[in-house]
Amino acid sequence: MAEEMKVIVFTLGKEEYGIEVDKVRTIERLTSITRVPKTPEFVKGVINLRGVVIPVIDLRGRFGLPESDLGENARIIIVAANDLEVGFIVDSANDVIDVMSDTIESPPEVVGGIRAKYLSGVAKVSETRLLILLNLSEVLNRGEIIQLEQLGE
């Protein structure tokens, strides 16, 4: 029997992506980000969220997508990855939907310009709507997690 998974839907450009709800701590409005020197280009810096310093990554930059002006719908999705909280800047975070496990297929080599290793699958939500599911452990690879942990200290 297919299992149901709750997913938070967010956008980067025209594409819709999903992160499992249980990996998401909170979704915040864009706030001022303190730049940190000697970090990869896609690491925008750190924010102070209720007394906790959280590294922030621009997902567009991480995936090699063109940067865009962040509108008022832009959000920072705070996720938990390997005991580390990290913020992802996204164009918008829209809603929470249920995805059935039997609607998820392996990702093709490249989806919307993003390599398959960053993706856990593609869910067919309806006849015309596909949702690209992120593989958080690859989006944040081990070396980067160590770097980001040092930012948070």
CATH code of the domain in which 103 resides: 2.40.50.180
Cβ proximity of 129 and 16 under 8 Å: yes
Q: Strand pairing partners for 78?
A: 26, 87
Print the domain residue range for 145. Answer: 4-152
The pLDDT, as a whole number, for residue 67 is 81
- Condensed to tens digits (0 to 9), the pLDDT of residues 98-120 reads 999 899 988 776 655 556 677 88
Q: Strand pairing partners for 16?
A: 11
Q: What is the number of structural domains in the chain?
A: 1
Q: Which residues contact 86 (CB under 8 A, 6 or more apart)?
A: 54, 55, 56, 57, 78, 79, 140, 148
The pLDDT, as a whole number, for residue 80 is 87
Cβ proximity of 24 and 105 under 8 Å: no
- Condensed to tens digits (0 to 9), the pLDDT of residues 2-25 reads 789 999 999 998 889 999 999 999
